[in-house]
Amino acid sequence: MSQRKKQIRVNFRNAVLQRGKHCCRTCGCPHDVLDVHHITDRNEMPNGGYVPENGISVCHRCHQLAEIYHSTGGVKWYTGLHPNDLYRLIGSSKELAIQASEKLFNT
């Protein structure tokens, strides 16, 4: 992995955690160990979707529940953990995330 790509991932993680005030945005609990969840799967996003508009800070438990949407191909999700709900929590949308992702390597 290139140094630039590593830095983009680090910047993504740091920006998402800082925006979330180092708390799980879905259950509100502060945790020592948080995950950064790609709201739209990174394989479906331009340049991997490593932009704050596509990330949300979640605890391990909420991350596992949010991943059910991806693992079932969007057939099943838990209340409040649908991608649209997660985007709403961070004031973003899939469209904004795509636009930001398209510009990721242009800077």
Domain definitions of the chain by residue range: 3-101
Which pLDDT value is given to residue 106?
A: 75
Nearest 5°: phi and psi at 38?
-75, 115
Strand-pairing partners, residue 38, are 55
Which pLDDT value is given to residue 1?
A: 66
Beta strands in 1-107 (DSSP E): 35-38, 55-58
27 sits in the region (left: phi over 0; alpha: psi -120 to 50; else beta) called alpha
pTM, two decimal places = 0.92
Which of 52, 28, 43, 39 shows the shortest CA–CA distance to 86? Answer: 39
* pLDDT tens, per residue, the chain with 107 residues: 689 889 999 999 999 999 999 999 999 988 778 999 999 999 999 999 999 999 999 999 999 999 999 999 999 999 999 999 999 999 999 999 999 999 987 75
Cα Rg for the chain, rounded, in angstroms?
Answer: 13
